[in-house]
């Protein structure tokens, strides 16, 4: 488990795997799950399984995520993604 602080917000991140296919999740997958399924979720689906679950094309999810990110949605903040890329 990795814990770090961004400004005043403290984030806790651990390796998560998709509950459907077991794929390792990215911050985007988790953000998308929280946004489209349930913000309080503790278990997540990857973007592929999420799109199947929601019956929408994965590209549409990508577009929505990009849309939310441009609005400054904290679930998709660039800071999170940068840290996870390491
Ligand atoms: Zn999956």
pLDDT category of residue 75 using cuts at 50, 70 and 90: confident
Task: Give the model's pLDDT for residue 7.
Answer: 54
What is the Cα–Cα distance from 56 to 45, expressed in whole angstroms?
A: 14
Cα angle for residues 7, 12, 64 (degrees, 5° grid): 80
CA of 41 to the centre of ligand 1 (A): 15
Average pLDDT of the chain, as a whole number: 82
Distance 9 CA to ligand 1 centre (A): 29
The pTM is what? 0.70
- By three-state DSSP, how is residue 35 classified? helix
User: 44 C-alpha to center of ligand 1: Å?
Assistant: 9
Give the confidence band of 85 by pLDDT, cuts at 50, 70, 90.
very low
**Residue 53 belongs to some domain of the structure:** yes
Other CB atoms within a 10 A radius of the CB of residue 19 amount to 15
pLDDT tens sequence across 11-31: 555 679 999 999 999 989 999
| pLDDT attached to residue 86 | 41
At residue 83 the predicted structure's pLDDT band, cuts being 50, 70 and 90, is very low
Q: What does the alpha-carbon distance between residue 69 and residue 74 come to, in Å, rounded to a whole number?
A: 8
**54, part of any domain:** yes
The Cα–Cα gap between 17 and 29 comes to 10
Tell me how many domains the chain contains.
Answer: 1
Do the domain assignments include residue 7? Answer: no
Range of the domain at 43: 17-84
In a domain, 36, yes or no: yes
Residue 9 inside a domain? The answer is no
How many whole angstroms from 28 Cα to the centroid of ligand 1? 13
């Amino acid at each position: 488990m990795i814990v770090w602080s961004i400004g005043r917000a403290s984030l806790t991140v651990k390796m998560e795997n998709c509950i459907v296919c077991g794929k390792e999740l990215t911050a985007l997958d988790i953000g998308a799950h929280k946004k489209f399924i349930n913000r309080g979720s503790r278990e997540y689906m990857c973007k592929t399984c999420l799109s199947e679950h929601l019956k929408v094309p994965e590209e549409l999810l990508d577009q929505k995520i990009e849309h939310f990110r441009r609005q400054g949605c904290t679930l998709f903040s660039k800071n999170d993604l940068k840290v996870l890329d390491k």
